[in-house]
Structure 1
């Protein structure tokens, strides 16, 4: 890519970011199911095997545990592997490798063994797919000490954050909001203003703080646009980093507005939303004018596709929570 601003969908920004990482460091390897000639289910790795060779971009067997285990060995030997998990619900066969080896080995060796490994997981709903193709498993990984967990919401974030994740000496779970793969946004490939572990204020406001991450951020911005027509000023905060959470912008916003709504696609029980609500209540108690409210999917397994729009949060449910928090 040339050093200039470009209007790209998030999927192409991911491809460009991976290409930049491969060019910058010969130790970077891409591995996963059908990522070679096919370019992956979502074409995120399209043409990368052609341009960098089968020894650096290669297909793996249909075995997530084997993919992660092999990548851990490669990382121990000085490589920087990037594993693609084809869909969110397919990560569970590799869960043991991630939580008991990848997350633990650096601490177990007192930092003497580093595991610079990235696990890319397309996640989330609103794509009309079936069970195991629209899930949001972020809480499992954010709960696990030793893992860094991030999720971009814009093409520019995706382009820079994937490169930063690959450069990290710690293991990173990189969650890609698949429903945002194709909407376009401006990508500045020349200026790295994005930080891997910083939350950001996506829209300033004064009445309510609305927090989300990944695809939810776009919905929250839409809700803020609609609310503004009724004279309600919503400040939208994009979490971006799920572990460790960068609380400073969240706390500052909560103290400014006095009212907070947290929205997510995952079920609400024992979730990122739960943690955010609890922590902001603890740290901003005397600034809050109302309880922190949460909007989430329901606490049931992901339903058949025809019910996805009932199960997942939509703009109306977000705005309903905004109305309720303003009533206090």
Structure 2
């Protein structure tokens, strides 16, 4: 299965058209509804699961991800907190240590900077520092990176930050099936999981297969997905960037370049087997991300490829296509050019494939 999304005035359309390789039936749903349904099913499955965060209860969530859940499960399972990330993230970690399975919603991961000590020192390191005695089964989830018109302090991608921390598992889904299966896996995992979502994708529609609609459907953490097969270049992306990468792959196909697109889904651990296998086939590699270039996801991918025998399979230097290395501007027209879109990705990929500009 692979998907194709379209741009309208520089903005991703709300619906993605998927080309399916099987005859299985599918249900169209938004990422918002996919998350809501997954949360509902996990709350029903395990009474130890509860959700806390700002406005997750009576207000139905800042992005309506938890819509209807407070009315269904009550105050003990949906807990509205004060505006203090350090406080309620600490409460979530304490609850996890006491045997519960909290899901901590952050209104944006920009605000998680207030609780970085809790997530890194309180959650990630606890199992190691207690000699394997006390795990911290907590999920920190919420929108990451830029949306539209949020300016510098609310448009940062923290993928590279959390990806660097031992003890954390870090997810960055794209499609509804990614979100649904990744969230369920995160809730059931014994370790702390950071799930980096995209506000831009919440309204996006994707088809969801009957298999993925099963209440026990999970995507193994650390398992990437080949969204499009190709033989000329490997394009690796995660989250919202995967959609732009798929658009670029379709444009490249029209120009005779068959790109293989890998949707990482998991940033820690990374599915190195999938990456190495693809590079061995295509002999060219490019990573795509919306975050900054310095110490980013692409930096880690390129460095790891360089340090392994698969390096000798490359016919050209591996390349990173990233956001511009500046704080995000507020002006819409400048903001648009600060993160890779399909045309940027196409231009970079052509250079890797040795195609000269006309």
What is aligned with 1:312?
339
1:163 Cα deviation (Å)? 1.0
Once residues 316 and 282 of structure 1 are traced to their aligned partners in structure 2, the CA distance between those partners, rounded to angstroms, is 30
Which residue among 36, 39, 44 is the counterpart of 2:65? Answer: 44
1:325 Cα deviation (Å)? 0.2
Q: Does 1:181 align with 2:207?
A: no
What is aligned with 2:6?
none
CA deviations on 1:133-158 (whole Å, 9 max, x unpaired) are 32211111110111000111110111
1:128 Cα deviation (Å)? 3.0
- The TM-score with structure 1 as length reference comes to 0.96
Once residues 58 and 104 of structure 2 are traced to their aligned partners in structure 1, the CA distance between those partners, rounded to angstroms, is 16
What is aligned with 1:158?
179
Once residues 152 and 302 of structure 1 are traced to their aligned partners in structure 2, the CA distance between those partners, rounded to angstroms, is 22
Q: Does 1:202 align with 2:227?
A: yes
1:300 Cα deviation (Å)? 1.8
Q: Is the 8 A contact 2:180 2:218 kept in 1?
A: no
What is aligned with 2:256?
231
What is aligned with 1:280?
305
What is aligned with 1:221?
246
What is aligned with 2:20?
none
Once residues 132 and 159 of structure 1 are traced to their aligned partners in structure 2, the CA distance between those partners, rounded to angstroms, is 29
Q: How does 1:1-328 map to 2 (within 5 A)?
A: 5-187=26-208, 188-190=212-214, 192=217, 194-283=219-308, 284-306=310-332, 307-327=334-354
Q: Is the 8 A contact 2:149 2:330 kept in 1?
A: no
1:178 Cα deviation (Å)? 1.8
Q: Is the 8 A contact 1:88 1:132 kept in 2?
A: no
Segments of structure 1 that go 5 or more residues without pairing to the other structure are none
Segments of structure 2 that go 5 or more residues without pairing to the other structure are 1-24
Once residues 170 and 102 of structure 1 are traced to their aligned partners in structure 2, the CA distance between those partners, rounded to angstroms, is 8
CA deviations on 1:250-306 (whole Å, 9 max, x unpaired) are 100011000111010110011111010111122222110000001111222222242
Q: Is the 8 A contact 2:147 2:198 kept in 1?
A: no
Structure 1 stretch displaced more, 121-130 or 204-213:
121-130
1:192 Cα deviation (Å)? 2.6
Change (3 A) 1:25 1:305: farther
CA RMSD across the alignment: 1.4
Once residues 264 and 99 of structure 2 are traced to their aligned partners in structure 1, the CA distance between those partners, rounded to angstroms, is 31
Once residues 173 and 295 of structure 2 are traced to their aligned partners in structure 1, the CA distance between those partners, rounded to angstroms, is 22
1:5 Cα deviation (Å)? 4.1
1:177 Cα deviation (Å)? 1.8
Once residues 45 and 12 of structure 1 are traced to their aligned partners in structure 2, the CA distance between those partners, rounded to angstroms, is 9
Once residues 257 and 96 of structure 2 are traced to their aligned partners in structure 1, the CA distance between those partners, rounded to angstroms, is 49
- The TM-score with structure 2 as length reference comes to 0.88
SS of 2:61's partner is: coil
Once residues 170 and 37 of structure 1 are traced to their aligned partners in structure 2, the CA distance between those partners, rounded to angstroms, is 29
| Structure 1 residue ranges (4+ consecutive) displaced by more than 4 angstroms after TM superposition | none
Change (3 A) 1:204 1:193: farther
Once residues 218 and 195 of structure 2 are traced to their aligned partners in structure 1, the CA distance between those partners, rounded to angstroms, is 19
Aligned length: 325
1:200 Cα deviation (Å)? 1.2
Q: Is the 8 A contact 2:184 2:218 kept in 1?
A: no
SS of 2:289's partner is: strand
Once residues 97 and 126 of structure 1 are traced to their aligned partners in structure 2, the CA distance between those partners, rounded to angstroms, is 26
